[in-house]
Structure 1
């Protein structure tokens, strides 16, 4: 056998591309060409790998000239934005690099200006919003503080108007006394808007009027009257009137709440409750009454004290006391009003029905007589 030289290696066979491979290559090249064409056509934007890689970076986008970059988080800065911010206008054909929330870096080239990092809260309004300046708020506060403060010279009265009772005419003698007490809630009328000024007042009703007029604290040791139950409507008022010294009971622990109260009993109760000092000459003071003999003995000093302190109101004749007459609602209103004037809670009302004692009248008349030197006497009233 003879040795043959090694045969030459056969060349690799080249096969022609199939239809599928040709379509794939064509699609790939078309896609690459479209991407390159799209990237080159956007001249006002550029690739920023740092923005894509950094999680805190703002999304890239085109920035038009004279437009501020909105903050993606839309956070309100603690310091207000200056009122007038003039954004930089880049020259034509200039490309502005998008910035992040951090401070501008020094990597920007001199040929590319960088906008100031100003964050503006985006709004839905179509009109441009101007940032609010701190100086504007300061100026508004100064303007408000510069306004003069207007304060009333006198405090407004909180007393409501009196009740317009349909049976108390304007020319009624006790109209002014009733108006003052009704406006303060001391006296009230009836559901039909009447006052019934001539109606009698019983002891329970008088105790209720005293309670509203003088507002006394109830006594801890109240008397358990046999004719006043604990559920009676006037029991608290009766207890206060007894503890303050205005009223007293009768023997056998009775109060007689339904008994009508007389004029002398009203005056004695007011003098006792106000603890007024008795005058030195009661008989001289009582001489002003034509019916002074009708005054009970136990009430002589009390009536003289009430007269000296102008608690007595007689109508139509001031010289007729009529002490044993049942007191009417209008008469009780007038005497309660005078007692509150004595305590300094109400202003005095001029009325011809208010009785003045002879002693007071004589001393007041002496103050109007000129002395020999042509001057008024300096003697004062004994009231």
Structure 2
């Protein structure tokens, strides 16, 4: 036997798989298995490959996951909440087949309807929380609401005029403020009141007109020194018909004559129809200068004193009946007359004379009960 060279192995007709091909096949089967596992793990058993074939990626919704988007992703068969605010809804996700609501754990949800889990979002406007249909509270009956009755409109009194010559510590400041706030007193164009200026008869008649608002009589007496176009003619006629003032025997009124303090008190007592006391001198003894009171004025001044109309400054016991009345003094006495009629509240002042005896109130005072204090023209 001769040594022959080893023969070449015969090439096999079956070629074994290589390592790379084995790995590729393994990865392919693993991928297919993962897809099948993912598909069967979904609640929806139908084969829906639209999501796999879609070109735009769609994030999947996991249970109890809140999307960062401001809009909530709602699955089919979700009943919309009609009580939600028209503003953009807050972020929310749907939890299918949940058994409770985060807002009311004691109220069972409606079967077959998913509840909505709301995540709070920052918003400049107040938003209503989105609740599940099973947790919507019933509307409140109209009868359960408290009845609100509108309050009656209260009358407002404007602030007093800030006169530049009436300081806060002026003795008659409070009387002036009350009358100016009601339009009875008004000052001059330079915003002054001139409280120490004497008052003439025409100006006093104008003050009476605005303070008491008496009706003008049909038979008003005309005086030869009061022209028809005089600025105070209507006020003078009203003061005459109401019984506050009287003229002089020679058919004159003397509108420019300064009025005295005693004449102011007599006019107020006459117009208010105050009853004179039986013993006027007992009341007038409160004044140190009672002997200076004119005889014709004793009864009226005693009635005015008994009814709190007299205001004396600086000494309450000094009447000074023959002194010219100033604008501040007239304002204080008219204020007290309105207090007597119940039109104004009383002011606490040490300058008001308090009589030891009080006379009887008038039975029928000549006044208009519906007096309007806000009307009238400027006092000149």
| TM-score, structure 2 as length reference | 0.56
Shift of 1:148: 4.5
Relative distance call for 1:145 and 1:189 in structure 2 (3 A) is farther
The answer as to whether partners of 1:307 and 1:356 remain within 8 angstroms in 2 is yes
- Residues 1:273 and 2:280 aligned together: no
Corresponding residue number in structure 2 for 1:192: 190
Corresponding residue number in structure 2 for 1:69: none
* 1:70-85 paired onto structure 2 within 5 Å: none
Q: Which runs of 4+ in 1 moved over 3 A?
A: 139-148
The separation in 1 between residues aligned to 2:179 and 2:270, in whole angstroms, is 21
SS across alignment from 2:357: helix
The answer as to whether partners of 1:314 and 1:353 remain within 8 angstroms in 2 is yes
The separation in 2 between residues aligned to 1:195 and 1:146, in whole angstroms, is 55
The separation in 2 between residues aligned to 1:210 and 1:141, in whole angstroms, is 60
Corresponding residue number in structure 2 for 1:345: 343
Corresponding residue number in structure 2 for 1:95: none
2:303 pairs with one of 293, 302, 305: 305
Shift of 1:156: 2.7
* 1:1-383 paired onto structure 2 within 5 Å: 146=145, 148-149=147-148, 151-152=150-151, 155-359=153-357
Corresponding residue number in structure 1 for 2:10: none
CA displacement, residues 58-86 of structure 1 (integer Å, 9 cap, x when unaligned): xxxxxxxxxxxxxxxxxxxxxxxxx9xxx
Shift of 1:356: 1.1
Relative distance call for 1:146 and 1:217 in structure 2 (3 A) is same
RMSD: 2.1
SS across alignment from 1:341: helix
Shift of 1:239: 0.3
Relative distance call for 1:330 and 1:146 in structure 2 (3 A) is same
Higher relative contact order (CA 8 A, sep 6+): 2
Shift of 1:157: 3.1
Shift of 1:208: 0.3
CA displacement, residues 182-208 of structure 1 (integer Å, 9 cap, x when unaligned): 000000011111111000100000000
SS across alignment from 1:177: helix
Relative distance call for 1:357 and 1:147 in structure 2 (3 A) is closer
Shift of 1:140: 11
| TM-score, structure 1 as length reference | 0.55
Shift of 1:159: 1.3
The separation in 1 between residues aligned to 2:274 and 2:222, in whole angstroms, is 28
Select the structure that is richer in helix: 1
Gaps of 5+ in 1: 1-82, 84-138, 361-383
